[in-house]
Amino acid sequence: MKKIPVIIDCDPGHDDALMLMLAFGSGLFDVKAVTTSAGNQTQDKTLANTLKILSLIGANVPVYRGCEKPIFRNLVIDDSVHGESGLHGIEWVVPAFQPETISAVEGIARILSESEGKITIVPTGPLTNIAAFLLAFPNLKDRIERISLMGGGIFRGNMTPLAEFNIYADPEAAAIVFAAGIPVTMCGLDVTHKAVVFQKDIDLFRAIGNKSGEAAANFLEFYSRFYRENRIELEGGAALHDPCAIAWLINPDMFKTKSCYVAVETKGELTSGATVVDFYNVLKKAPNTEVAYDINREEYIKMLADAIRSLP
């Protein structure tokens, strides 16, 4: 079976780390590169975490350092969820390789211009790198097959009542991406708060018995603390956001989605960083986004466990 060519743009981050495990462990992707966004932590830390997690799971692909901060705004980090290092539990791993010497924007441009076919981009952090790429290389936009991202929400936020972290951190970048005319799949909080991992799932990952399973379980035990204290609606579960953007590419039938027109609020006094999803098509605009709002949780956990099982 032909693998799906992808560039992954992420800010590990515990759920980003699980996303990378799913992407590599599934064996279904031709990962051309991983680029790093500043988000859950600073660029220095998300880059270091990316090199470490890829080394841990035995994935040696080109890694490119991304932008240091959002396009117009100061950096916002999410250390309340992901800790001081951005990926609590990875500190002991020594990276087996170094990042590339050119930037993420240049790396994406080089890969897209040299590739025979189109490539899907999977962002699971703030969209700064992707927007900077689109601004710098508009001629290469047509080389992108689709953008499958984690971010936003139809009816809810987690940084403000309406804004989700990845969009809130760099709304101008997100606005550029959604308006680019590229097909987007949006896995926002509506679906990711149904993509929940419970203690029994963490135990299942640990019981796989390999070092990736142990790392996944350790990451999720730390990550779950925030959710158990702050999202009691999830009944002890933690929203495992980022792997959804990869899972949709593996099996879209596992999700419920709706084609909608989506734009990003960059100025609102109360709503900056909100994804404005025209769920009922009141604007009568052509949809630009496949918006995911539900998932088969049991299948999602099985997909993750199968991927982890095939890793070192």
Q: Considering the complex, what minimum distance in angstroms separates the CB of residue 19 from ligand BDR?
A: 8
The span from the CA of 290 to the CA of 312, in Å, is 34
Taking CA atoms, 89 is separated from 36, 169, 217, 231, 238, in Å, by: 19, 24, 10, 22, 17
Q: Among 36, 124, 185, 289, which residue sits at the site for Ca ion (rule: CB under 5 A)?
A: 124
CB neighbour class for 300 (10 Å; exposed up to 12, middle 13-18, buried from 19)? buried
- Verify binding: residue 150, ligand BDR, rule CB under 6 A: yes
- Verify binding: residue 242, ligand BDR, rule CB under 6 A: yes
- Verify binding: residue 164, ligand BDR, rule CB under 6 A: yes
Query: Which of these ranges, 13-21, 85-93, 111-119, 298-306, lies near ligand BDR under the rule CB under 6 A?
Result: 13-21
Nearer to ligand BDR, 166 or 212 (CB): 166
Q: Where are the alpha helices (DSSP H) in the chain?
A: 14-25, 43-56, 79-82, 104-114, 128-136, 165-169, 171-178, 189-192, 199-207, 211-230, 243-250, 297-309
For residue 167, how many other CB atoms are within 10 A of its CB?
31
Q: Give the three-class secondary structure for 244.
A: helix
193 binds, options ligand BDR, Ca ion, none, Cβ within 5 to 8 A by partner type:
none
Query: Which of these ranges, 49-57, 61-69, 242-250, 253-261, lies near Ca ion under the rule CB under 5 A?
Result: 242-250
- Is residue 82 part of the annotated active site? The answer reads no
Q: Which residues bind ligand BDR (CB under 6 A)?
A: 13, 15-16, 40, 78, 81, 124-125, 150, 158, 164-166, 241-242
Q: Which residues bind Ca ion (CB under 5 A)?
A: 11, 13, 16, 124-125, 242
